[in-house]
Amino acid sequence: MHNLIVVTGGAGFIGSNFILQRMRDESASIVNFDKLTYAGNPHNLESIADNPRYHFVQGDIIDRELVRKTLARHQPRAIVHFAAESHVDRSIRGPEDFIHTNVNGTFALLEEVRAYWSSLGEPDRARFRFLHVSTDEVYGSLGPNDPPFSETTAYAPNSPYAASKAASDHLVRAYHHTYGLPTLTTNCSNNYGPFQFPEKLMPLLILNAQQGKPLPVYGDGKNVRDWLYVEDHCEAIAAVLAQGKPGETYNIGGSNEKPNIEIVYRICDLLDEISPAKGVSRRELITFVKDRPGHDRRYAIDARKIERELQWKPKETFDTGLRKTVRWYLENEAWVRDVTSGSYREWIATHYSG
């Protein structure tokens, strides 16, 4: 078995960053299996599109026959499963897509992977891994003085998105305990960085601020998140894939708890410094909007297990990561133009109207 990995959802934000990072290793080969929904963008991977070690398959993980053929043809040593609907607001407006992809899709994928893995001879069977990328939102919400989420925190998902990811986490766990499939699960905090679709907080703020548009902030802006730079997250996933113990869960966090309003201020101030607007502070664009239903108050991750067992720690501080992110969006206007086409604008208009 060669060093080939199948990545599901590899044209998305975290998936494409992971693929680009892994492809720097000359021994790596990657098959990117992606449905190309609104958030999947093949342009993210243009720099490696012609590399003979990279192969793209357009497909839905729920299409078992296509998954089966892909596994049989490429004989991967691992699956890294990013494919998911991942936006809380979208899950509130239309939960069905989240059940389709996150629950039914993960189940279909697990079934085909189990059949493939069962057919392998030793030592390939022992070496194989299925790594499932999940979220800290499965744990619910924390009070201001609660300890951060650890791997043993009880699940208490509060949005259809979080519930669908919790369901997929449970399926992955069950396939390890019932069938022996060598699974690994990672639960990460809020990611930020290059190639993030501009419905998420940071790119939305950066792009709106540059265009002089209102900067929408939910509620009182005091909801707290733990922020993780995407490249740090991808290195953590690689560490779990290489050294993680099958059946285990690893929480990945940036140790950067910040209220949303602080993120907004920091982005405004950075843009004022890097790309000043005539005599105006971007802070003047801040607009408080009605809070979303079931908006979790605080997330925080206890990442001591991955630090202790796999010697992983984030390299970026919040300041260095944020500066890199703001610069990337300013320097990649063509990418932004491409993803903010009609369908995206319709979504923003529906969602943030009033």
Backbone angles phi, psi at 77, to 5 degrees: -95, -10
Going from the C-alpha of 94 to that of each of 86, 99, 292, the distances in angstroms are 12, 10, 14
Count CB atoms within 10 A of the CB of residue 310: 17
Residue of 34, 137, 235, 316 marked catalytic? 137
Residue of 161, 175, 192, 250 marked catalytic? 161
Distance CA 200, CA 74 (A): 34
Distance CA 349, CA 199 (A): 11
Q: Name, in order, each residue with C-beta under 8 angstroms of 295's C-beta and a sequence gap of 6 or more.
A: 218, 219, 223
Beta-sheet pairing, 29-34 with 4-8: parallel
Closest CA to 177 of 249, 251, 120: 249
The amino acid at residue 163 is A
Can 50 be counted among the known catalytic residues?
A: no
Q: Name, in order, each residue with C-beta under 8 angstroms of 346's C-beta and a sequence gap of 6 or more.
A: none
R_g of the chain computed on alpha carbons = 20
Q: At which residue do the structure tokens 């285990």 appear?
A: 248
Can 161 be counted among the known catalytic residues?
A: yes
Residue of 85, 89, 112, 136 marked catalytic? 136
Omega cis (within 30) before 198: no
Ordered strands of the 54-58 beta sheet:
54-58, 29-34, 4-8, 78-81, 129-135, 183-188, 249-252
Can 136 be counted among the known catalytic residues?
A: yes
Residues marked active site are found at: 136-137, 161
